[in-house]
Structure 1
Amino acid sequence: MLSIVIPCYNEEESIPAFFKEVEKVSQQIDHEIEYIFVNDGSKDSTLSCLRELHRSYPQKVRYISFSRNFGKEAGLYAGLQSAKGELVTVMDADLQDPPELLPEMIRLIETEDIDCVGTRRATRDGEPAIRSFFARMFYKLINKIGETEMVDGARDFRLMTRQMVDSILELTEYNRFSKGIFSWVGFNTKYLSYENRERVAGETSWSFWSLLSYSIDGIINFSEVPLNIASYVGALSCFGSVIAMLVILFRTLMYGDPTSGWPSMVCIFLFVGGLQLLCLGIIGKYIGKIFMETKNRPAYIVKETEENNLL
């Protein structure tokens, strides 16, 4: 069986087109297919669309509906936990992940010594320039300071063996960053490149600031370097202040010319205060992550599935 996990947030317009396209490709696949749609607290008619799709294809289409919006990471996690197939793939409902790659991905994973076939965008054509710039900077930065290597342009769209999926599910952390988790668990992975595609319908829910926040979470989840930077900055600031005090003392003893001027002192105070707040902010992000982990809250809460739907 091939399990297809599809996280959905306000995708009522995309779901029918997505299902139609994947069904076309399924004719080339010699596997039983199950669809697992995860409704992540959508505010439109996504849930109604999934109910109708399940009624039309009860043996093939399953769905999970959250009690509220928990984020795409929670949707991926829930879908992987529910997947029953020996092969599992993750796809977006907006058709930015080309379904026609599935037959080739299955062929590769069945004929070569690999556990995962990932996909990556060859270009970022059609994406806002500022978003592309910061995305490239993120991958360069995370690969220099992080524990695991992440491929620039890699999508969540990938085909995985059951062994790899089970390994991913062993990581039960609340603060999840799937791109890093996919790399961290290891396993042999091969990437297929494709040209960037626009959404088939609807609008993306990812703003620049939400992507920036997501990137910061990824860095914090897979690197301790920001904490080290805070320590280095504090040590450098302390060393600089000692040097400055020695210079002032020397000038006072030798020339009777103590350094004066409150504007310079105010600038120094503001600079040092800013460094302290920066370091506290970095430490605070890590403490916040620890705080959420120690609460041991579930990553998501299920309100409805195709099994308990009474409508």
Structure 2
Amino acid sequence: MAESRPVLDIVAPFLNEAQSASAFAALLDELEAEVSQRFGMDVHKILVDDGSRDDGAQRFSQALSGSWEIVRLSRNFGKEVAVLAGLDQSRGAMALVMDADLQHSMDTSLKMIAELVENPDIDVVYAQNDRREASWRRSQLAKLFYGLINSSQRFDIPENAGDFRVMRGAVVRALTSLRDKRRFNKGLFAWAGFRQKAMTYSPENRVTGKSKWSRLNLIAFSLEGFTSFSVIPLRIISLSGMLAALAGIIYGAKVFFEVMFYGIAVPGYPSLMVAVVLLGGLNLTLLGLIGEYVWVTLSESKDRPVYIVRDVVRGVSDRPPGASGA
């Protein structure tokens, strides 16, 4: 009996990507052929429909070939959760996570797979966006974000690294054991540890559609990261409160000496309003920030399932033989 070949699972979440279905399916076919020829691995494709409102799932099911399955979630849970849903279905020796919008190229995917195959001491190879087209302001804000969130941590979240990565089966199983309801994958990938290596890449231009990430979504996502992996915001607000109190003490001492030794009249209403507005603003900011942390804690304590699967559509050949973890 012939020995079964190792399997590479390709996990790809999508949302309203009906227009790119044919092109992405063709890319997966090319990638499957290259992986089989160069690395001697079978490929199983796991797509996750994150509550699409178009006929993307139907178009993918018509365009995909070989061994594949489409996990359709009951609603839109967000990309972070959709990635987990795909990894939950992975049983292969390795798993490649990539987007279905064609911005993650086949060349970069093959380079990451080759790096992992050729180096048994490495557990994860992740793609790091070079941000060549990012504005100066956005790049500086990104540096500030990663600088703050990595402060006082036992691990570092790599800058500009997303879900585009290839992992060994043991890493996948470790990640799927982390059932955070409010997910921040960048942090979870870093927290899990293992031996990881970065590979710089430039995203391809979107062929169709537009990014689902607005500025407000990015701000909310950044706040999610802070509340999940950092106490720095609370410390910043606490430090601001201490500085405000110190400023109040200094100002009070100044007023006392001016009255006692120089007979200068104490300004009343303006100074009072400044103190009220400053301290009131600090208190409201602190309450809002604490509320964010409390909301995260409440979400986790409810112990709801991270996602709900509506159904799973599978190809005729389903999972290839030998799809066991390694």
- Shorter-chain TM-score above 0.5: yes
From 248, 257, 266, the equivalent of 1:259 is 266
Does residue 219 (structure 1) correspond to residue 254 (structure 2)? The answer is no
Does residue 282 (structure 1) correspond to residue 289 (structure 2)? The answer is yes
Matches within 5 A, 1:74-93: 74-93=81-100
Matches within 5 A, 1:47-86: 47-53=57-63, 57=65, 60-86=67-93
Aligned to 1:12: 18
Measured against aligned partners, the alpha-carbon deviations of 1:48-72 in whole angstroms (never above 9, x if no partner) come to: 223434xx63x51101111111100
Q: Is the 8 A contact 1:147 1:222 kept in 2?
A: no
Measured against aligned partners, the alpha-carbon deviations of 1:94-138 in whole angstroms (never above 9, x if no partner) come to: 11111223333222212211001111122332x566544433432
How many pairs were matched up? 303
Which one-letter code corresponds to 1:214 in the other structure? F
Does residue 178 (structure 1) correspond to residue 182 (structure 2)? The answer is no
Aligned to 2:130: 122
Alpha-carbon distance in structure 1 between the residues aligned to 2:231 and 2:265: 42
Alpha-carbon distance in structure 1 between the residues aligned to 2:156 and 2:91: 29
Which one-letter code corresponds to 1:115 in the other structure? D
Aligned to 2:212: 205
- Following superposition, the deviation at residue 147 of structure 1 comes to 4.7
Which one-letter code corresponds to 1:120 in the other structure? Q
Q: Is the 8 A contact 1:248 1:259 kept in 2?
A: yes
From 133, 138, 147, the equivalent of 1:140 is 147
Alpha-carbon distance in structure 2 between the residues aligned to 1:160 and 1:63: 20
Q: Is the 8 A contact 1:180 1:218 kept in 2?
A: yes
Measured against aligned partners, the alpha-carbon deviations of 1:244-264 in whole angstroms (never above 9, x if no partner) come to: 333323333333434123123
Bigger relative CO (Cα 8 Å, ≥ 6 apart):
2
From 27, 44, 54, the equivalent of 1:21 is 27
Alpha-carbon distance in structure 1 between the residues aligned to 2:152 and 2:22: 42
Identity %: 34
**Partner SS for 2:151:** helix
Shift in alpha-carbon separation, 1:135–1:44, aligned structure 2, 3 A = farther
Shift in alpha-carbon separation, 1:96–1:133, aligned structure 2, 3 A = farther
The 10-residue stretch of structure 1 (7-16 or 254-263) with the greater mean CA deviation from structure 2? 254-263
**Partner SS for 2:180:** coil
- Following superposition, the deviation at residue 87 of structure 1 comes to 0.2
Structure 1 alignment gaps of length 5 or more? none
Q: CA RMSD in A?
A: 2.0
TM-score (norm: length of structure 2): 0.86
- Following superposition, the deviation at residue 82 of structure 1 comes to 1.0
Alpha-carbon distance in structure 1 between the residues aligned to 2:160 and 2:89: 27
Q: Is the 8 A contact 1:124 1:196 kept in 2?
A: no
TM-score (norm: length of structure 1): 0.90
Alpha-carbon distance in structure 1 between the residues aligned to 2:295 and 2:242: 24
Does residue 33 (structure 1) correspond to residue 43 (structure 2)? The answer is yes
Structure 2 alignment gaps of length 5 or more? 1-6, 315-326
